[in-house]
Amino acid sequence: MASESMKAKIVLLGDGGVGKTSLIRRFVVDQYSDEYITTIGTKVSKRSLSLGHPAAEVEMAMQIWDVLGQKGYSGVQETAMKGAQGVLMVYDATAEESRRSLEDYWMPAVWRLAGRVPMVIAGTRRTSSRTGSGQKTTSTSSVRSTRVRPS
Ligand SMILES: Nc1nc2c(ncn2[C@@H]2O[C@H](COP(=O)(O)OP(=O)(O)OP(=O)(O)O)[C@@H](O)[C@H]2O)c(=O)[nH]1
Ligand SMILES: [Mg+2]
């Protein structure tokens, strides 16, 4: 059993539809769905991990905040950002606008509300083949991430 325990508030941010909720669902319950239901307000999930060497193991209890990405809902987004100890910034690597949004909107908001907390940037990439009717039949994806050190 872990000898120490830590808690961390982690928040996922990025434009609407970039895949934040999908990443959380995969991480917390190991499930995926092709359906897109925008997050209404915020949703908090929990997952604990044991970190470190067996002799000095730390139990990390993560409170993972998912928030809708659509602009104009700054109230709920600000509540999610306040007190965050880590941020996963998500953008769609096939939509340049969603990457620019991280620099122009999401990062300045985090610096203002949570300070210079550690951030990881993840670019999601969608590859899907569609039938003539436009229905998605297969899809795969990958996630690329970059760590941003607080200065
Ligand atoms: N092919 C593919 N589709 C994905 C992937 N991740 C998310 N999607 C699809 O992208 C759509 C939007 O995903 P969400 O995870 O709901 O996006 P979100 O960032 O939470 O959006 P908001 O809650 O509106 O801010 C859904 O239709 C997902 O099925 C992925 O890795 N691969
Ligand atoms: Mg969502």
For residues 87 and 26, what is the distance between their CA atoms, to the nearest angstrom? 17
Instruction: Give the total residue count for the chain.
Output: 151
Please give the model's pTM, rounded to 2 decimal places. 0.86
8-53 residue pLDDT tens: 999 999 999 999 999 999 999 999 998 999 999 999 999 999 988 8
Ligand 2 mean position to 23 CA, how many Å? 9
Closest by alpha carbon to 107, among 46, 50, 148, 58?
148
In contact, 76 and 23? CB cutoff 8 Å: no
Q: Which atom of ligand 1 is nearest to the CA of 66?
A: 20
Biggest alpha carbon–alpha carbon distance for the chain: 57
Is 89 touching ligand 1 by the criterion CB < 6 Å?
Answer: no
**Ligand 1 near 32 CB (within 6 A):** no
Domains in the chain and their CATH numbers?
4-148 (3.40.50.300)
Beta carbon of 12 within 6 Å of any ligand 1 atom: no
Which residues are within 8 A (CB) of 150 and not within 5 positions of it... i.e. 6 or more apart?
115, 116, 117, 118, 119
Query: Given the CA of residue 19, which atom of ligand 1 is nearest to it?
Result: 15
| 11, 22, 25, 38: residue to mutate for ligand 1 pocket, most atoms within 8 A of CB | 22
For ligand 1, whether the C-beta of 39 sits within 6 Å is yes
CA distance readout (Å), 63 to 45, 104, 144, 151: 6, 26, 23, 24
Which ranges constitute the DSSP H helices of the chain?
A: 20-29, 74-81, 96-101, 107-114
User: Which tens digits make up the pLDDT trace of 95-132?
Assistant: 999 999 999 999 999 999 999 999 999 999 866 544 33
Q: What is residue 65's predicted lDDT score, i.e. its pLDDT?
A: 98
DSSP assigned state of 104: I
Looking from the CA of residue 143, the nearest atom of ligand 1 is 31
Q: Using CA positions, which residue lies closest to atom 6 of ligand 1?
A: 19
Q: Higher pLDDT residue, 132 or 142?
A: 142
CA 21 to chain centre: 7
Are the C-beta atoms of 121 and 100 separated by less than 8 Å? Answer: no
d(CA 98, CA 16): 9
